[in-house]
Amino acid sequence: MKGHLSYQIYSFWGLLPLWILCASSTNTCTVRHEAADCSHLKLTHIPDDLPTNITVLNLTHNQLRRLPPVNFTRYSQLTILDGGFNSISKLEP
Ligand SMILES: *[C@@H]1O[C@H](CO)[C@@H](O)[C@H](O)[C@H]1NC(C)=O
Ligand SMILES: *[C@@H]1O[C@H](CO)[C@@H](O)[C@H](O)[C@H]1NC(C)=O
Ligand SMILES: *[C@@H]1O[C@H](CO)[C@@H](O)[C@H](O)[C@H]1NC(C)=O
């Protein structure tokens, strides 16, 4: 019984860093050289915490329904926006 309990405690603390890693990586984009990769993150909203100087924003394979222009105003340097593989039903100017 005692051995079983300590095994459970061990596996809990052993898995915790992994869980934190997964939890933090599911909702953060990878930013590399002013290009933000936000693909495959199940996003329903456009991230508003990325560096404002990004030029590429990859939003592919998410669950976005709309791409309101107002949500991109902070990214004034943006030249490439990839919005493929989402559930976009309406595209605004
Ligand atoms: C756009 O930004 C507004 C205000 O921050 C937010 O409430 C809304 O959910 C955002 N929409 C999308 C599709 O990201
Ligand atoms: C873009 O912003 C990031 C973080 O704010 C900064 O580290 C980087 O040097 C900036 N890049 C350019 C080209 O301004
Ligand atoms: C965005 O990411 C997808 C897959 O992760 C890739 O196929 C696509 O080429 C990328 N788009 C851009 C503009 O980098």
* Rounded Cα gap, residues 38 and 51, in angstroms: 13
Q: Distance from the CA of 33 to the center of ligand 1, in angstroms?
A: 25
Question: Is the distance from the beta carbon of residue 85 to the nearest atom of ligand 3 less than 6 Å?
Answer: no
In three state form, how does the secondary structure of 28-82 look?
A: CCEEECCEEECCCCCCCCCCCCCCCCCCEEECCCCCCCECCHHHHCCCCCCCEEE
13-23 pLDDT tens trace = 666 666 655 55
60-72 pLDDT tens trace = 999 999 999 999 9
pLDDT of residue 87: 86
List the end-to-end C-alpha distance of the chain, in Å, as a whole number: 65
Q: Distance from the CA of 58 to the center of ligand 3, in angstroms?
A: 6
Range of weakest confidence among 13-17, 23-27, 47-51: 23-27
pLDDT of residue 17: 65
